């Protein structure tokens, strides 16, 4: 008998199986910290906060305490996941008239002080931990502190991206001091990189909690830096901010319940895409066939047009969410799609960043957390406080300056947000998957494709996240396709009017998945090969 050994999937990775707990993140050192928390008696909440802090150290251009965070929490025995909105608000002293009349801006800038909003991540971390964590606050931050202080070896994808971001780092002296070797160059693969200022900051937060960041001595240092840079943020913007527990939104799609964080995030877009393609009966088409891809791309166009027109801080939205999630709404959108011809006119979009980390954890008791933390664009606003090692996000770039738009800039308002953690449960509220796909506007279209891979095509988590994806750009109405989606598929999409471009340089995101095996209560994990990430279990 002939036996073939070590036959692997095309991506070169196998799904990870474990009985007691599972974590997945975009960097192996962060994943190892998550497993350490679980093995030390912590739960999924302890694990995700420890991993998020670690990613601030090892993937600093994507995430950090100068950014925002969203999460979904599956609590065993509860029918609806918990949701937390850790996105900050705009400065109370920065007005719409200043931006549009005095500065004569037509779009929010991507760098500098104007797009900086209050960082919400630290508040979200502490709220998750204080409500559900088991280990001490200091213990879960200690691995990140140690790695920042002693240094860590830079991994390959992170080194590559860091090098590409050098021009942005050079524009600010605090960024140069914090993120370059001797003010000259970015770290190379395997080189030990230290962030002593960040280590000191994390030590303060570990001892004093979020209070130090939003109201204490650390805030005084942050305000000194921001005001020297000309920021409109005031100490009261920080002291009055707190992350919020919210209710997630959901829809039943192919007999599974998909949960997303609601606006001001774009989780609604994923639900819209999938409700449209279900209405089109996409299940009848082979995976990644011309008809299959055409349906999702066209549904994506319509869903994003809605997003750019209506999604905003919930207090400012003009159409109730129930309408977006109704059967009638899906049917109306599906009827607009020509099965043989691509849409030519697509409403223009906001420019959206691509630098984010998605991570997830599940523990032996069945708790799972879907978590996403981001600076928005690479190194956010480009402004870095060298005394604290904090890079400030540029989430304010997500605002519109179109007068009367629901997402129009206003003081003390949350901007349109890209980051969207997700979960899938059965109709009986049993956890099936905790997952997410990072990467700006790729997130909803990437999530939709991964959902279909899991639910329709019954792929395991690693296959589903590794599978080649498309990316549609709303501004240019172009489509990029990852290999090995073949020449004939590209040609047939062009014949339907799609503008298919080369995939080189296109962002196809990155993601993680943890599946709960209902047959035995164990976990199956996968991590995107497009990143340095890793799923780990024990």
Q: Which amino acids are annotated catalytic?
A: 356
Adjacency order of strands within the sheet including 470-473: 470-473, 478-481, 499-501
Give the whole-angstrom CA distance, residue 96 versus residue 116: 15
Extended beta strands in 243-324, E state: 244-246, 249-253, 256-260
Measure the CA–CA gap between 140 and 308, rounded to whole angstroms.
Answer: 38
| Other Cβ atoms within 10 Å of 14 Cβ, number | 15
d(CA 5, CA 15): 17
Q: Which residues contact 474 (CB under 8 A, 6 or more apart)?
A: 301, 304, 305, 308, 346, 347, 348, 349, 441
Structural element, H or E, at residue 74? strand 68-74
Distance CA 58, CA 237 (A): 29
Instruction: Using CB atoms within 10 Å of the CB of residue 45, give its burial: 0 to 12 exposed, 13 to 18 middle, 19+ buried.
Output: buried
CB 449 within 8 A of CB 100: no
Grouping H, G, I as helix, E, B as strand and the rest as coil, residue 22 is strand
Supply 516's token pair. Answer: 């709960």
Alpha helices in 91-155 (DSSP H): 96-97, 121-132, 137-150
Separation of alpha carbons 29 and 524, rounded Å: 19
Residue 260: CB atoms within 10 A of its CB come to 28
Concatenated DSSP letters of 463-509: HHHHS--EEEETTTTEEEE-TTS-HHHHHHHHHTT-EEE--TT----
Q: How many residues are there in the chain?
A: 538
User: What is the C-alpha to C-alpha distance for residues 93 and 278, in angstroms, rounded to an integer?
Assistant: 46
CB 105 within 8 A of CB 251: no
How many CB atoms are closer than 10 A to CB 98? 15
Q: Which is nearest to 275 in space by CA: 261, 293, 290, 296?
A: 296
Tokens of 160: 């590559």
Residue 368 pairs in a beta bridge with 74, 362
């Amino acid at each position: 008998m002939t036996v073939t050994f070590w036959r692997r999937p095309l991506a070169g990775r196998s799904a990870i199986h474990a009985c007691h707990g599972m974590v997945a993140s975009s960097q192996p050192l962060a994943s190892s910290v998550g497993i350490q928390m679980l093995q030390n008696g912590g739960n999924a909440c302890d694990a995700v906060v420890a991993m998020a802090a670690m990613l601030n150290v090892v993937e600093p251009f994507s995430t950090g305490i100068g950014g925002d965070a969203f999460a979904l929490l599956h609590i065993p025995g509860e029918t609806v996941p918990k949701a937390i909105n850790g996105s900050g608000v705009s400065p109370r002293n920065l007005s719409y008239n200043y931006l549009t009349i005095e500065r004569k801006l037509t779009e929010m800038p991507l760098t500098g002080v104007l797009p900086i909003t209050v960082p919400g991540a630290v508040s979200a971390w502490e709220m998750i931990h204080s409500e559900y964590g088991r280990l001490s606050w200091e213990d879960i931050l200690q691995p990140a502190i140690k790695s920042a202080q002693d240094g860590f070896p830079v991994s390959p994808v992170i080194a590559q991206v860091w090098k590409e971001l050098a021009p942005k780092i050079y524009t600010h002296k605090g960024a140069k001091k914090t993120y370059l070797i001797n003010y000259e160059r970015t770290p190379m693969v395997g080189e030990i990189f230290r962030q002593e200022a960040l280590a000191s900051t994390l030590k303060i937060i570990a001892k004093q909690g979020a209070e130090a960041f939003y109201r204490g001595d650390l805030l005084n240092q942050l305000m000194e830096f921001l005001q020297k840079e000309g920021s409109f943020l005031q100490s009261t913007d920080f002291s009055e901010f707190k992350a919020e527990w919210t209710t997630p939104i959901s829809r039943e799609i192919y007999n599974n319940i998909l949960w997303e964080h609601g606006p001001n995030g774009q989780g609604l877009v994923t639900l819209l895409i999938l409700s449209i393609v279900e209405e089109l009966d996409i299940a009848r088409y082979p995976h990644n066939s011309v008809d299959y891809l055409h349906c999702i791309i066209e549904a994506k166009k319509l869903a994003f047009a809605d997003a750019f027109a209506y999604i905003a801080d919930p207090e400012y939205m003009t159409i109730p969410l129930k309408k977006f999630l109704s059967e009638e709404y899906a049917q109306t959108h599906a009827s607009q799609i020509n099965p043989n011809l691509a849409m030519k006119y697509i409403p223009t979009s906001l420019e959206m960043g691509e630098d984010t980390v998605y991570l997830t954890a599940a523990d032996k008791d069945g708790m799972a957390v879907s978590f996403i933390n981001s600076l928005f664009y690479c190194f956010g606003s480009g402004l870095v406080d060298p005394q604290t090692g904090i890079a400030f996000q540029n989430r304010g770039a997500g605002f519109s300056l179109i007068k009367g738009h629901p997402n129009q800039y206003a003081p003390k308002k949350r901007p349109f947000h890209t980051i969207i953690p997700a979960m899938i449960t059965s109709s009986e509220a049993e956890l099936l998957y905790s997952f997410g796909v990072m990467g700006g506007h790729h997130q909803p279209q990437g999530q939709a494709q991964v959902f279909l891979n899991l639910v329709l095509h019954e792929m395991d988590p690693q296959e589903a996240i590794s599978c080649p994806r498309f990316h549609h750009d709303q501004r240019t109405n172009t489509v990029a396709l990852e290999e090995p989606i073949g020449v004939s598929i590209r040609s047939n999409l062009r014949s339907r009017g799609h503008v298919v471009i080369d995939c080189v340089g296109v962002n196809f995101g990155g993601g993680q998945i943890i599946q709960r095996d209902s047959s035995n209560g164990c976990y199956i994990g996968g991590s995107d090969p497009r990143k340095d990430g890793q799923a780990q279990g024990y």
